[in-house]
Amino acid sequence: MLRNKPFLLLILCVCFSFVSEVFAQTTTFDLSERYLQKAETAFDDGQITEAFKNITMAMKVTKTSEDDVVPANVLVLARTIYRTKLKQLQKSYNEADFIELKTNLETFPEVNTSEITKLVRQIEAQVVADEKASTKKDQQEFYTKIQESTDATNSAVTQMVEENRKQFERAEERELKRDARDEKNDKKFMMIFIAVIGIAFIILVVVMLIVVVVRAAAKHSQIQQQQYVEAFKLLAQNQSQTNQLMIGGIAGLYSDEGLKLAGSSTWSQGALPEPEDTPEEKEELRELAAKCEDLGARIDQVTGRKNNSKNVSELVYKLAIKLGIRQHEAMVYFCASMVYDAGFLSIDPELLKAENLTEEQRKELNRHECLAEEHLQFVPKRYWTIFDDAARLHHENMDGSGMPEGLKGEEIPKIARIIRVADSFNALSSRRSYRGGTDKESAVAKLEEQPNIYDQDVINALKDII
């Protein structure tokens, strides 16, 4: 009997495991059925949002791993509810619900059908169209204000001319009554001369106003060029040993460990050492800066954004210093932010010039973040992490709604967060041709209104700089 005791214990353990597994499967099935019934009831009652939540929970209960399969009855109802939910979003768009639905489609790809995919694309296209319509409305309002201002100026000039004419006629009439006929011609000539001088003065004032407006419009471009020069003066003040470099006195970081701080979760300097620059390292960074400057000029030429590379890189460097990033690391940020849009060089130039894009063309354009690698092969391995983060992740948003990886908050590398702010600020403050002269303070205010996209620490640093 004692000899068979281990064997009996083994049999008992096997039986217990079998019963537990059966119980667990039964519990999971019952829970899935309850969610399924709730989803059906809510759907029949027209409560689409409630049905959407319950059918999603039913799928999550039944599919606890990648190997699990969603039951056919759950899958059929899920497709119906998701399709109805998408049609509801077409009529009344809700960004949070749409993002949640797309995330669920990635989690449960078996739910996706060609009709669901088509509805998702239609909604995305509708959102883009709404944004373009809003932009067009702003442009129309700007043009209307310009026209109203021009009409007011013309009206004032016409009124002044008319008043001068009336004054001239009244003076002429008085002269005719008071003076003799032989003095009439001389007096009339004098009054005409005075009137001409007055009109000429008015025209001169109008021309001067136009010149002031044109000079104000050109002022931004001049300031950008001056800032680029001032940036290099600032580099010289922060590190005297780099005064002799031709491209901004750029120095480098000399350890892979140090460079990895570009993606850390705080703005502190950490334990990054300040090594002594060797002649070889200085030459390496000098060559890297020159190559980045040339590549940045090519990117600006292809995208049609004059001086964008210089303007953004200068602002990125200032923000990095303001945020407490070490001098060496800030220099590498400076180089990386000249070429963060290198992926555009792999996009069809005609696509970049197109005014109206199809959905397929828009998706192709959004791939530029992932196409930069082939143009950055000249970057030394020790600096690759920063350059790669700058090129791939500069469209990530703080709430995770960005692309291409949907990172959020501290998950986004520092360089990407800084470029996100600098690029948007440069775009806002440069579009004076249709924004009615948006100043820097207004541009910063627009960024502050979107904490879901931009890092508020970076925006606070930007406010201190400008």
Q: Among 115, 107, 121, 119, which residue's Cα sits nearest to residue 56?
A: 107
Task: Choose between 48 and 9: higher pLDDT.
Answer: 48
Pull the structure tokens for residue 12.
């008992």
Percentage of the chain lying above the pLDDT 90 cut: 35
pTM over 0.75: no
Most trustworthy range by pLDDT among 23-37, 125-139, 254-268? 125-139
Most trustworthy range by pLDDT among 181-185, 256-260, 272-276, 319-323? 319-323
Mean pLDDT of 61-68: 69
Pull the structure tokens for residue 428.
């806002």
Residues 46 and 41: their CA atoms lie apart, in Å, by: 9
Pull the structure tokens for residue 129.
């169209």
Please say if the pLDDT value at position 242 is more than 80.
no
- What pLDDT, on the 0 to 100 scale, is given for residue 5? 61
Residues 9 and 31: their CA atoms lie apart, in Å, by: 33
Mean pLDDT of 423-429: 92
Pull the structure tokens for residue 194.
């005075």
Q: Per mean pLDDT, which range of 97-101, 226-230, 247-251 is the poorest?
A: 247-251
Pull the structure tokens for residue 221.
């471009």
Task: Choose between 257 and 113: higher pLDDT.
Answer: 113
- What pLDDT, on the 0 to 100 scale, is given for residue 227? 44
Q: Which residues pair with 408 in a beta bridge?
A: 399
> Are 280 and 266 a contacting pair, CB within 8 Å?
no
**Identity of residue 208:** M
Q: Which residues pair with 399 in a beta bridge?
A: 408
Query: What is the tens place of the pLDDT at every residue in 432-453?
Result: 444 444 688 999 999 999 999 9
Collapsing DSSP to helix, strand or coil, 193 comes out as helix
- What pLDDT, on the 0 to 100 scale, is given for residue 233? 46
Distance of CA 265 to the CA centre of its chain: 21
Please name the residues in contact with 422: beta carbons below 8 A apart, sequence gap of 6 or more.
312, 315, 316, 319, 337, 462
Task: Choose between 292 and 229: higher pLDDT.
Answer: 292
Mean pLDDT of 332-341: 95
Looking up tokens 């590190």, which residue turns up?
239
Task: Choose between 344 and 286: higher pLDDT.
Answer: 344
Residues 92 and 97: their CA atoms lie apart, in Å, by: 11
Residues 35 and 53: their CA atoms lie apart, in Å, by: 9
- What pLDDT, on the 0 to 100 scale, is given for residue 322? 96
Residues 299 and 303: their CA atoms lie apart, in Å, by: 6
Please name the residues in contact with 454: beta carbons below 8 A apart, sequence gap of 6 or more.
398, 417, 420, 421, 424, 447, 448
Task: Choose between 228 and 345: higher pLDDT.
Answer: 345
Residues 406 and 181: their CA atoms lie apart, in Å, by: 91
Q: Among 365, 361, 401, 359, which residue's Cα sits nearest to residue 125?
A: 359
Measured over the CA atoms of residue 25, residue 26, residue 28 and residue 32, the dihedral's sign is: positive
- What pLDDT, on the 0 to 100 scale, is given for residue 217? 55
| Burial of 340: CB neighbours in 10 Å, binned 0-12, 13-18, 19+ | buried
- What pLDDT, on the 0 to 100 scale, is given for residue 401? 94
Query: Cβ atoms within 10 A of the Cβ of 433, count?
Result: 10
Mean pLDDT of 367-383: 91
Task: Choose between 369 and 8: higher pLDDT.
Answer: 369
Please say if the pLDDT value at position 284 is more than 90.
no
- What pLDDT, on the 0 to 100 scale, is given for residue 420? 96
Mean pLDDT of 67-93: 88
- What pLDDT, on the 0 to 100 scale, is given for residue 16? 52
Please say if the pLDDT value at position 143 is more than 60.
yes
- What pLDDT, on the 0 to 100 scale, is given for residue 239? 39
Mean pLDDT of 25-35: 72
Residues 165 and 181: their CA atoms lie apart, in Å, by: 22
